[in-house]
Structure 1
Amino acid sequence: MTPAELSHAILSAVRSAVEAGELSVPVPEQVTVERPKNRDHGDYATNVALQLAKRAGKPPREVAQVLAERLKAASGVKSVDIAGPGFLNVTLDAAAQGELARTIVEAGQAFGRNETLKGLRINLEFVSANPTGPIHIGGVRWAAVGDSLGRILRASGAEVTTEYYINDFGVQIDKFAGTLRAVANGRPVPEDGYKGEYVDELAKKIAAGHAGLLEKDEREQLAVFKAEGLKLMIAEIRRSMEEFGAHFDVWFSERSLHESGEVEQAIERLRAQGHVFDREGAVWLRTTDFGDDKDRVLVKANGETTYFASDAAYYLDKRDRGNETCVYMLGADHHGYVGRLKAIVACAGDDPEHNIEVLIGQFVKMLKDGEEVRMSKRAGNIITIDDVIDWIGVDAARYSLARSSTDSTLTLDIDLLTSQKTDNPVFYVQYAHTRMCGVQRNAAEMGVDKGPAEDFKPELLTHERENELLGALAEFPRVVAAAADLREPHRVARYLERLAGMYHRFYGDCRILPLGDAEVTDLNRARLWLADATRTVIANGLDLLGVSAPERM
């Protein structure tokens, strides 16, 4: 019996008590069941009686007594006890508890998926680094977290569009073109230009591909270096994202907002809403009406549009495409953007508490031999995505970057993450999966099969380690749903680490395969079902994080 099935049984008990006139309350849409920390308190606990007591006009324990009598009759329930002020502690019979193993194996890749966010259309924008250099370590964190979050949101029923916003318009692009031109002509990098070996590589490549370019006037040179530099840099970013396993449904160009006239149209739409005003020759958005610390300029007195105007047009474009909630994933240095983005939403007539979410990611450091690594050979003073992949690999990078809350700074130890030690979290989880695959291979070599589903005897799974493991497996769908709802992929990673630990303990205390020439028993087969169910959940969880589940290591 899964937590969802038990919740349904509790709701049925409430409904039947209401129909019998024992309780006079509206039947709730759902009830929460949880695994108690102390297993002496049963397999699951619910506070439904406390929630209903006030509406019922009865003490919570009296409500609990009414529900307990009906719940005891539910299939798979062994006992129901009333604890404290009115908690219901439910113990399942062994067969109902063990039946979960068959449920998981038969569900396969679908186990853990849920529909808690069904009907919600989400635009998830992440990374969106300027196309003026390789993706740096901060962007790598967002690539891991963002792609994982997209997978988790989809697994919870949401319709998700993942998006990369290409900042290919404005001053920083002009500086990039100027840097490439200077380097190609053998001059020093401008004081406010870009540094690193990649700049030399790009400049040489562009000059070599356009004969006579360096003989043309400055204006013509800059036009070529801008167009070609952007083209090559965006291609490089796409390549690195693909190698990292981060998928984007849409690559959106900021320049397209200006070329299509959407920026001007957005300003007029906001003016029609009554929030745009003119002052001292400039065009402003009155964002202070919605909590921003100052009003924002959309168009400068010289007629030049601002980045803020692009931000407004971009948000409106996302909403026009049918996205209900727009999730922005920004770096720690963009904390000041939260208020102004929410103000744009309010000025547009939307709900800033529903139609936009801004997630801020903190900084990442990398250690080697106990010392912080600060420099990249290719990009100068930043660590790039290619550096991270070269040092620790895609799996270790994705897992380690996604396993911590984004609102905390993160330190990655290269030596640890490339070691095969149990304190290396990605190794610990992947090793659990390979161990289960090894059990399957050994079983096949011994001619031991877990048998058909109809011969599975779940009631034999009564060992403490088996109960512990089954309880953890039952929680997986809820963990996925919570990770999606709270936008916290690290919940899946931390769950996998706990589950791996439980499996390792189960493996040590409960012999799965018969020893030597011993007869194969139904208990051996039941444990094979349990091991296969655990392997399925580990693999499904790793897939949500974009991490492989190897069969051998």
Structure 2
Amino acid sequence: MTPADLSRTVLHAVHRAVAENALHAPVPARVRVERTRPGGAGDFACAVALQLAGDAGLPALEVARILRERVAAEPGIGRVEITGPGFLSFTLDAPGDSDRAVLDAVREQGSAYGHGGALRDEVLRFHHPREVRAAVTADAVRRLALSQGAQVRISCEEAAETGEAEWGLLGVTVDAYGTPPVTSSADPSAPLIPVRPVPAGATARELLERLGADATRWGLLRPASHDRAPLGDDLLVQGEANPLFLVRYAHVRARALTRGAAALGFTSESDAAPAPYEAASDASLYEGPARPLLDLLADHPRVLLAAARHRAPDRVARQLEAVAHAFFDFHDSCPPLPSGDEKPSAAHRSRLALAEAAGTVLAGGLSLLGISAPAHL
């Protein structure tokens, strides 16, 4: 990462903080980064937090904390420290280090990759009408908020009636019925948050009978809540034109690669061969078709946090579609399995590690949407 790249990365973090309402300040035209002076921390330093503190009405240290949260996971950045009155100090990764760190994190955390504690101090009370899209959306928002450490409670405006059994088949749970007080006596700072997407125009029973639970949830959650949810039979098409099929098929292919590698006698973690990511001759792992996939995997934690903060499960669905497309581009250009008489190499192990990470992220994202990720289709 060059100083110019770092400057753009920090500026992008400022944009995101403002867009997510974490920071209320004008976005500067550019952010200046400088080489750390002798005795300082890291490789580069930046004073943008001090620059924004006045307009934001926050201490510079708090602004620095907000920005650090959005910069620390960016590819190429190894460590971000806050020094002095609010300077951000950056230690950059060596080439390839950030990619290895992402794949290691996915392997270690599994389907919980991207979960975190950014919302651990928040108590969220969601309230929705007795309508299937509102109920499914509230449930997905609950899953996302819980993945980021929040405490969540969901209430429905009307008392339970016949038809709520179908909500259970859709994976929906409700903590209370009727309209609770606008604020909680236990936590006055936790007001009711309405969840009111454009209604589905059909009942849960109708959708379940026609589409099944997984396609129904995808159809209700994939569009932004202010858009109508297309709920046609194309959600059941077994073809790549159907985004749900594409995402689940990419997961299936990733799992099939692991089984295929085991049948050939090697894995991405074999002790008898070069370790994953150490194939210096395999430039395709870090560049070319692999780069978009690696970047999407690195960005996954940020997407989950933003989706939780904005109550927007559609962001997760779009992220999964992008990962699936990038996976197939990578898979077709850089096959993880040897062909013919070709022997498994360090390159194949590295590619397999990336494919397995993609499958893990797809499974975890589908789970947060309440959708199954089968090993076979």
| TM-score, normalised by the number of residues in structure 1 | 0.52
Is the CA contact (8 Å cut-off) linking 1:35 and 1:471 kept in structure 2?
Answer: no
The one of 402, 409, 412 aligned to 2:231: 412
The Cα offsets for residues 451-472 of structure 1, whole Å up to 9 and x where unpaired, read as 2589223554234111211111
Partners in 2 of 1:115 and 1:103 — Cα distance?
16
The Cα offsets for residues 315-362 of structure 1, whole Å up to 9 and x where unpaired, read as 15x51243643xxxxxxxxxxxxxxxxxxxxxxxxxxxxx34334322
| Structure 2 residue 299 is matched with structure 1 residue 475 | yes
Is the CA contact (8 Å cut-off) linking 1:122 and 1:324 kept in structure 2?
Answer: no
Partner residue of 2:194? 358
Partners in 2 of 1:530 and 1:486 — Cα distance?
29
Is the CA contact (8 Å cut-off) linking 1:448 and 1:520 kept in structure 2?
Answer: yes
Partner residue of 1:111? 113
Q: Secondary structure at the match of 2:139?
A: helix
The one of 342, 359, 370 aligned to 1:535: 359
Partner residue of 1:320? 185
Partners in 2 of 1:35 and 1:115 — Cα distance?
14
Q: Secondary structure at the match of 2:230?
A: strand
Partner residue of 1:150? 142
The Cα offsets for residues 426-479 of structure 1, whole Å up to 9 and x where unpaired, read as 111111101111111211222221125892235542341112111110011100
Is the CA contact (8 Å cut-off) linking 1:421 and 1:427 kept in structure 2?
Answer: yes
Is the CA contact (8 Å cut-off) linking 1:98 and 1:470 kept in structure 2?
Answer: no
How much has 1:162 moved relative to structure 2? 2.3
The one of 247, 252, 255 aligned to 1:434: 252
5+ residue gaps, structure 1, are 37-42, 49-54, 57-62, 78-92, 130-138, 168-232, 255-310, 326-354, 366-382
| Structure 2 residue 377 is matched with structure 1 residue 549 | no
| Structure 2 residue 104 is matched with structure 1 residue 238 | no
When residues 114 and 358 of structure 1 are mapped into structure 2, their CA distance, relative to the original with a 3 A threshold, is same
Counterparts in 2 of 1:136-175, with a 5 A limit?
139-167=131-159
Give the counterpart letter for 1:431 in structure 2.
Y
Q: Secondary structure at the match of 2:374?
A: coil
Q: Secondary structure at the match of 1:457?
A: coil
Partners in 1 of 2:176 and 2:350 — Cα distance?
49
Partners in 2 of 1:484 and 1:144 — Cα distance?
15
Partners in 1 of 2:242 and 2:184 — Cα distance?
42
Higher helix share: 1
Is the CA contact (8 Å cut-off) linking 1:166 and 1:251 kept in structure 2?
Answer: no
Q: Secondary structure at the match of 1:360?
A: coil
Partner residue of 1:76? 93
Is the CA contact (8 Å cut-off) linking 2:76 and 2:98 kept in structure 1?
Answer: no
Partners in 1 of 2:231 and 2:292 — Cα distance?
31
Is the CA contact (8 Å cut-off) linking 1:101 and 1:530 kept in structure 2?
Answer: yes
Partners in 2 of 1:356 and 1:164 — Cα distance?
11
Counterparts in 2 of 1:222-371, with a 5 A limit?
234=161, 236-248=162-174, 250-252=175-177, 254=178, 314-316=180-182, 319-322=184-187, 324-325=189-190, 355-364=191-200
How much has 1:34 moved relative to structure 2? 10
RMSD: 3.5
Partners in 1 of 2:93 and 2:98 — Cα distance?
5
Partner residue of 2:268? 450
Partners in 1 of 2:207 and 2:215 — Cα distance?
9
Partners in 1 of 2:236 and 2:93 — Cα distance?
46
Give the counterpart letter for 1:117 in structure 2.
L
5+ residue gaps, structure 2, are 14-32, 51-59
Is the CA contact (8 Å cut-off) linking 1:429 and 1:497 kept in structure 2?
Answer: yes
How much has 1:99 moved relative to structure 2? 3.3
| Structure 2 residue 327 is matched with structure 1 residue 503 | yes
The one of 386, 393, 396 aligned to 2:212: 393
Is the CA contact (8 Å cut-off) linking 1:430 and 1:550 kept in structure 2?
Answer: yes
Partners in 2 of 1:492 and 1:323 — Cα distance?
31
- Could you tell me the percent identity over the aligned residues? 26
Partners in 2 of 1:406 and 1:243 — Cα distance?
22
Partners in 2 of 1:20 and 1:389 — Cα distance?
61
The Cα offsets for residues 9-41 of structure 1, whole Å up to 9 and x where unpaired, read as x9xx989659759987555213444999xxxxx
Partners in 2 of 1:155 and 1:17 — Cα distance?
40
The Cα offsets for residues 114-170 of structure 1, whole Å up to 9 and x where unpaired, read as 22211111112234x2xxxxxxxxx22112211110000111111111233434xxx
How much has 1:364 moved relative to structure 2? 3.3
The Cα offsets for residues 301-324 of structure 1, whole Å up to 9 and x where unpaired, read as xxxxxxxxxx5xx215x5124364
Partner residue of 1:126? 128
Partners in 1 of 2:367 and 2:112 — Cα distance?
12
**Structure with larger Rg:** 1
How much has 1:44 moved relative to structure 2? 6.5
How much has 1:522 moved relative to structure 2? 0.7
Partners in 2 of 1:95 and 1:23 — Cα distance?
22
Partners in 1 of 2:147 and 2:38 — Cα distance?
35
| Structure 2 residue 22 is matched with structure 1 residue 96 | no
Partner residue of 1:369? none
| Count of matched residue positions in the alignment of Structure 1 and Structure 2 | 320
Partners in 1 of 2:187 and 2:207 — Cα distance?
36
Is the CA contact (8 Å cut-off) linking 2:207 and 2:216 kept in structure 1?
Answer: yes
When residues 14 and 483 of structure 1 are mapped into structure 2, their CA distance, relative to the original with a 3 A threshold, is farther
Give the counterpart letter for 1:360 in structure 2.
R
The one of 222, 241, 245 aligned to 1:423: 241
When residues 429 and 19 of structure 1 are mapped into structure 2, their CA distance, relative to the original with a 3 A threshold, is same
Partners in 2 of 1:143 and 1:442 — Cα distance?
40
Give the counterpart letter for 1:512 in structure 2.
P
| TM-score, normalised by the number of residues in structure 2 | 0.75
